[in-house]
Amino acid sequence: MPRRIKDGMEPHHFQPHPPKQPKPNKGSFGGLPVTPEVGQPYVNSKKEEVIKGNKTPLLQRNAHSNDEHQLQMAAPITFKGASIDKEYNYPIVPEKDLYKVRKLGEGAFGSVDLVVHRHTNQHLALKMVGDDAERRIECAKLIKIQRAVARAGGNTENIVNLISLSRGRSDKKYALLEYGGLDILNSIEKDGLFKDEELKRTFFQAVKGISTLFQAGYQHHDIKPENILINGKGIVKICDFGLAEKMAGNIQTGNGTPDYMPLEKVYELNNYHNDRADSWSLGCTFAEMRLGYPVMQVSDAMLKGQMLLHEAVKEIKTMREKAYQQLLQQEGEQAAELFAALTKINPKYRLSPTEALEHPYFDSCYS
């Protein structure tokens, strides 16, 4: 049964709607013609499938239907140091058409608010970008990833999609994204640990999201419970692509959250391929969803290089075996074996996210 996610939509959160605007003529928005872009995929969240063709992006109405709305396509937007392909134009959604419900979070680079589109009642996440270079780079990466996914023939049903970017480069520049619900960590705090079929189907969607990135040639590099969202219908989406990078060769990136980083990243072991780091992070996240604690806790001594590699391997193996035995007892052999396959010490023998989808643990997800 899907988790009950509180959207904060009680009556006292609503603000008065502005006067109704005249209904736009088909094929125009604000009196201007709409130029459809050919070939860009859009997610139909009701049917959980990707729609391709010459349609303009879709906005949900009342979070149920996916009627088309004639939104003017944005002019190409360029971030400093990263050009955006013309095929990835986005509709301009003016800030006046949005009203804030509540704050979703705030970090070092700005805030994220839950907003509602006044004319469609669609819930969206508004991320303030401003003139911050880190936020601009993150948005540019998300656009590149969505382009790479489309080129690879994948879909983004389990990835938070970018809906709109505001025009210009003012300190009020913002990005509008899909609202994915609560993150997994907060969901655990609210509703308790995931287990049984709920654990399986939730984690299956997370693996699908990372598999989509993997097949498009990207690693997320910061998979953890806080970066996996789940809504009230049980739909899961991966978020926060600020550290995502293309997979290339053996160069290890030291980016990520330590307790979800494999040893080849912690110790920058460039004699290993760098395409299985997300698999390790997924395995750690899977165990934490069921057991309630970070199972592979990387010490300061490891991070600072004060512990020899063979000693670190010994410590990690001990923690890995403990988590394996707990999963074996609480979720059964297939769950424990999936965890073990995702967290092989040597990345050469670790399942890729795409391979993980074929693990017997997930057999019931295909029926």
Output the pLDDT for position 2: 59
The pair of three-digit structure tokens given for residue 64, joined into one six-digit string: 């149920």
One-letter amino acid identity for 65? S
Burial 238-274 (b: 16+ CB within 10 A, else e): bbbbbbbbebeeeebeeebbbebbbbbbbbeeeebbb
Output the pLDDT for position 238: 95
Q: Do domains 38-178 and 182-366 have the same CATH topology?
A: no
The interaxial angle of helices 333-342 and 277-291, nearest 10 deg, is 150
The DSSP code for 320 is H
pLDDT tens per residue across all 367 residues of the chain: 556 444 433 333 333 444 444 444 444 333 334 333 344 443 333 343 444 433 333 323 233 323 333 323 332 322 233 333 344 456 677 778 888 999 887 654 467 899 998 888 888 898 887 666 777 777 778 888 888 888 888 888 999 988 887 765 556 678 888 899 999 999 999 999 999 999 999 999 999 999 999 999 999 999 999 999 999 899 999 998 888 988 877 777 778 899 999 999 999 888 888 889 999 999 999 999 999 999 999 999 999 989 999 999 999 999 999 999 999 999 999 999 999 999 999 999 999 999 999 999 999 999 8
Chain length of the chain: 367
Whole-angstrom distance, CA of residue 329 vs CA of residue 80: 52
CATH code of the domain occupying 182-366? 1.10.510.10
The pair of three-digit structure tokens given for residue 135, joined into one six-digit string: 């936020």
Helical (H) or strand (E) element with 336:
helix 333-342
* Residue in this structure with the two tokens 């669609």, named with its chain if needed: 122
Output the pLDDT for position 78: 28
The residues, any chain, with a CB within 8 Å of residue 41's CB and separated by 6 or more, are: 50, 51, 52, 149, 150, 155, 156
Output the pLDDT for position 38: 40
Query: Which residue, among 251, 114, 110, has the nearest Cα to 173 in the 3D structure?
Result: 110
Domain 38-178 has CATH 3.30.200.20: yes
The pair of three-digit structure tokens given for residue 326, joined into one six-digit string: 């707990």
Check residue 271 and give left, alpha or beta (phi > 0: left; psi -120 to 50: alpha): alpha
Output the pLDDT for position 354: 96
Extents of the domains making up the chain: 38-178, 182-366
Q: What are the E-state strand segments in the chain? A: 28-29, 32-33, 42-44, 49-51, 98-107, 110-117, 123-128, 162-165, 174-178, 182-183, 218-219, 228-230, 236-238, 245-246
